[in-house]
Structure 1
Amino acid sequence: MKTIVWTVDDLPNLSTSYPHIAQAANILRENEVVAFPTETVYGLGANAFSDEAVRKIFEAKGRPSDNPLIVHIASQDQLDEFVEDIPEYAEELIKNFWPGPLTLVLQKKGDRLSDLVTAGLDTVGVRMPDHPIALALLKEANVPVAAPSANRSGKPSPTQASHVYYDLQGRISGIIDGGATGVGVESTVIDCTTKIPTILRPGGVTKEQMEAIVGEVSVDQALVEEGHAPKSPGMKYTHYAPNAPVIVVDGSHHFIQQQIDQFEKEGKKVGVITTEEAKNDFRATKVLSCGNRANLQTVAAQLYDVLRQFDQEDVDLIISESFPQAGVGAAIMNRLLKAAGNQVIVEK
């Protein structure tokens, strides 16, 4: 299969009539898959009403089909087609955070959605992305679009079109190249079928931001305790992992360097994920900065890119420093721990 790459860089003047958008939307309506940028990461989209189309997502990604997908829409009116019973607090979240990096898990209505989207569940995750290309594509396609991240299953999510091409070239029909994404980590997923909204996956909208709007917000036990099965799309299996194993080290810079030295004594080439503030503090085979600790939004935006950069480096092991878990730090640590398979060394 030949994968078409369309470059769209005239974002301020973008409309659904833009030729590349119209062509990609037509491919979606023909039940093929197209990758496109959102404000979080690149998504791999298919017509959410079609079993044939959605099946191609799983085939391209190599993703288990028991993992539900998030449905992307361009208008709140589209919810009426496949969602019912929207709680009042969910309406408030929609009003304040859509379009944006927030996915709401709602009660599914009827049988229009492909069962492959929901993995047979009676709920569905829905969001309205805040990106001009994504919104133009969704409007032109005029169907809800199921779209997980546009990467091979288990690999770091793509924040640039080149990441998508590297993973999926020859496996999908097209990629819309809209440049680097902004938020860098996926959307927050919140269960709105419970009395108190429950975060199933931390992401671009923080717990603190939502609590300022709707009051109490709880956190799924699977995020804080091992042994609980995750309920969120994209959280059931290991994710975000580069080729080399990752270990998160929670401790002082001196302690982190001790771990690096120990692994190098064992003959391992060690890579380090750190920040601008600390990048000169470590001696290792390769040290990469993923942003500024003083501004964790920059870390979220660059984390996946740095994980992917290490696939081009000659390292046997990657050590990452840890980050505070307040605000977007919760999403950063969630993804790092997933990449590390929960391997953590803590300074005592």
Structure 2
Amino acid sequence: MTGKNATETLLADEAGIAKAVQLLKSGGIVAVPTETVYGLAARADSDEAVARIYEAKGRPSFNPLIVHVGSVQQAQKIARFDERAKQLADRFWPGPLTMVLPLLASSRLAGAVTAGLPTIALRQPAHPAMQAVLAASELPLAAPSANQSGGVSPTEAKHAASSLGEAVDLILDGGRCDRGLESTIVALRDDGSWQLLRHGPIAEAELIRLLGKPVDVVTAEIEAPGQLANHYSPGKPIRLEGRTAQADEFHIGFGDVAGDVNLSASGDLLEAASRLYSALHQAAGSDKLKVAVAPIPKEDLGAAINDRLKRAAAT
């Protein structure tokens, strides 16, 4: 325990994983590390457990959840896999790719997971802690980011503890997340087309090489997490493309722009992605009233970083 009435935090070792599995099987909610961010996990086949996720996060009911699976075989019991889905799974699973696929009527998932949609968002994560929890529980796990809805996603256990407080039953501490940005989300359509619903660690160019060009259609319907215009906010106004900062601004630097904290002095986008949310958490905790962020290149992984920053800056 850490402090009076604080949620228990355990290392993501054998004992911690066993405790997490016990809680999840009984309908509890547990913050678990993945390679992208910490997820707030609950068994996806329980209406009550999934409702606890929405309640703990203050998440709008129209925003569907990603379901994490331990294998492609488990995923195929939940969604309809065509050849494209199999190809993507072969190439990118386990890893930071989420596929939005047609939901099977036999899936037996809680209705709130899909927010009433005929599709389901599925991912097989690569982090050993989440893999161990999935294997031991033998359950599909709904697991959005382990933070209050709209806030900065957690890349360390302390971020989840600070954001969720006593609303979560257990936090598994697996250290800092390697990727630091939520998964890329791809929707595979019945007509053979596909759409990129969320930028992430897997670049759009990699997907185009496998699937061809995506359709460029904007739909008003929220089909997957991360599509809300206002998201990832540190609770302060954010100014983008700021090579210099005003006196009242916490400055997040990149490359030769030093800042109060630097995402990557060498200009490495992978390093910048892994540090982005940590920097936003630091900005939130600073005594500065505003935040300025140095320019970030927009190609490759920079597209995902800029996507998050744009949503964080939305008012």
TM-score for the superposition, normalised by structure 2:
0.93
Residues 200 and 219, structure 1, Cα contact 8 Å, conserved in 2: no
Q: Which residue of 1 aligns with 2:286?
A: 313
Say which of 174, 178, 184 aligns to 1:178: 174
Deviation of 1:248 (Å): 1.0
The whole-number CA distance in structure 2 between the counterparts of 1:116 and 1:235 is 17
CA drift of 1:232 comes to: 2.4
Which of 71, 92, 97 matches 2:92?
Answer: 97
> After superposition, what is the alpha-carbon deviation per residue over 1:134-181, rounded to whole angstroms, capped at 9, x for unaligned?
100011111100000001111110000010111112111001000000
Give the structure 2 partner of residue 12 of structure 1: none
Which residue number in structure 2 is paired with residue 197 of structure 1? 194
In the aligned structure 1, how far is the partner of 2:221 from the partner of 2:294? Answer: 27
Letter in 2 for 1:277: D
Name the amino acid aligned to 1:247. Answer: R
Percent pairwise identity? 37
In the TM superposition, what whole-angstrom CA distance separates every residue of 1:104-154 from its partner, at most 9, and x where no partner exists? 000001150111000000000000001100100011111100000001111
Q: Determine whether 1:119 maps to 2:115.
A: yes
Question: Structure 1 CA distance, aligned partners of 2:261 and 2:183?
Answer: 25
Cα gap change, 1:42 to 1:212, in 2 (>3 Å): same
Query: Which residue identity lines up with residue 59 of structure 2 in the other structure?
Result: R
Higher mean Cα deviation, 106-115 or 145-154? 106-115
Distance 1:73 1:219, change over 3 A: farther
Aligned to 2:256: 277
Please say if 1:134 is aligned against 2:130.
Answer: yes
Structure 2: gaps spanning 5 or more residues: none
Report which of the two structures shows the higher radius of gyration computed on alpha carbons: 1
Give the deviation of 1:221 after TM superposition. 3.1
- Inter-CA distance 5–76: structure 2 relative to 1 (3 Å threshold): same
Match of 1:164 in 2: 160
| Distance in 2, Cα, partners of 1:231 & 1:53 | 21
Q: 1:36 aligns with which of 23, 32, 35?
A: 32
| Residue correspondence of structure 1 range 4-19 to structure 2 within 5 A | 4-8=8-12, 18-19=14-15
Give, as a single letter, the amino acid of the residue that structure 2 aligns with 1:303.
L
Distance 1:203 1:293, change over 3 A: farther
Aligned partner (choices 213, 216, 219) of residue 213 of structure 2: 216
Distance 1:340 1:229, change over 3 A: farther
User: Hey, what's the Cα distance between the residues in 2 that align with 1:318 and 1:34?
Assistant: 31
CA distance in 2, matches of 1:50, 1:135: 20
User: Which residue of the partner structure matches residue 345 of structure 1?
Assistant: none
Once the two structures are TM-superposed, the CA of residue 198 in structure 1 deviates from its matched residue by: 1.0
Gap regions ≥5 residues in structure 1: 10-17, 223-227, 251-255, 343-348
In structure 2, relative to structure 1, the CA distance for the partners of 1:294 and 1:237 (3 Å cut) is closer
Paired residue secondary structure (2:153): coil
Q: What letter is aligned with 2:180? A: G
Question: Number of paired residues?
Answer: 309
3-state secondary structure, aligned to 2:10: strand
Return the alpha-carbon distance in structure 2 between the equivalents of residues 127 and 303 of structure 1: 22
SS in 2 for 1:83: coil
Q: Which amino acid aligns with 2:163?
A: D
1:107 aligns with 102
Instruction: Say whether residues 1:26 and 2:18 are aligned partners.
Output: no
State the partner residue of 2:267: 294
Deviation, structure 1 residue 2:
5.4
Match of 1:322 among 292, 295, 301: 295
**Alpha-carbon RMSD:** 1.8
| SS of equivalent to 1:104 | strand
